[in-house]
Structure 1
Amino acid sequence: MSVHPDPAPPVGSRGIDEILAAARSRLTRLDAPAAAAAQRDGALLVDIRPVAQRAAHGGIPGALIVERNVLEWRFDPRSDARLPQAGRYDLPVVVFCQEGYTSSLAAAALQELGLHRATDLTGGYAAWQAAGLPVTA
């Protein structure tokens, strides 16, 4: 028996491009200089990249590393697994990934938890690095 993909998507389903656009429509995304300014003003910069990407590309000084698979548990103020910094809903959080796609979905998920100031870094770590902002090896 061979498996063939369905020719038409299920009724009511959305493709990833539509899901991403919906997530971004709720965010006030920050470019790299604005994200750096937000960090200086007390926002948490959160690196959700897997360890292999961080090892290959470097990091942002002062960024909090919280891999994507545990992000909601670490930032939900109601969660027993939350980080010490994540005890309030008005916490300014700027999520970043390598190029700024996964971070949009992650920031929207944090907003769904009630963290209304959560957003992401447009272009991700690559944009930060291209802007000449500080990085770690």
Structure 2
Amino acid sequence: MPAESLSASTTTGEPYARAAEIDGLLARARAGYRRLRPAEAWSAVGRGAKLVDTRPEHQRRAAGEIPGAVVIERNHLEWRLDPTCAARIPEASSPHTQWIVICAEGYSSSLAAAALRELGLHNATDVIGGFDAWTEAGLPTVRPARPTPPRGPGE
């Protein structure tokens, strides 16, 4: 590995790879499933798929929301969607549900979809380009006076 791609860890002083590590992780995550373009995701929702928006409140407040999307911030996603977890939401009753994860630009949603697939939710996928691509495609968005609160257990 070229020396310029290494940095010293602030905690151990050991060198570590920077961009190549996350890029590789992202590529491996995306290789395991078919991602959807925004229009494909919207069409899948019309057929019963569940769109889950993992963006934090400040992003939803600034850019808007997708009508009907289930709001679950990323740090709670696996607990809310795992059908075997006591902290799940009611829609997470089957491992066969098609969950479509959307974030701001389509990066963290890829890692989230891969994590859901590891939990046994084999129909999980994400939106290429995220919310930015969704709005560029002219798909429905809303700007509520107050952002939709994230879903909690049993809600």
TM-score exceeds 0.5: yes
Q: CA deviation at 1:8?
A: 3.1
% identical equivalent positions: 51
Aligned to 1:25: 31
SS at match of 1:9: strand
CA deviations over 1:71-116 (Å, ceiling 9, x no partner): 0000111100011010111100100000000000000000000000
SS of 1:45's partner is strand
Q: Which amino acid aligns with 1:97?
A: C
- Equivalent residue for 2:16? 9
Q: Deviations 1:47-67 (Å, cap 9, x if unpaired)?
A: 000000000000111100000
Count residues in correspondence: 131
State which of 60, 64, 68 in structure 2 corresponds to 1:54: 60
- Matched letter for residue 94 of structure 2: R
Paired residue secondary structure (2:16): coil
User: 1:100: which partner in 2?
Assistant: 106
Match of 2:117 in 1: 111
Structure 1 unmatched ranges of 5 or more: none
Runs of 4+ in 1 over 6 A off after TM superposition: none
Unmatched 5+ residue regions in structure 2?
A: 1-7, 144-155
Please give the secondary structure, in 2, of the residue aligned with 1:95.
Answer: strand
CA shift at 1:27, angstroms?
Answer: 1.8
Q: Is 1:125–2:138 an aligned residue pair?
A: no
Matched residue, 1:75: 81
TM-score of the pair, normalised by structure 2: 0.81
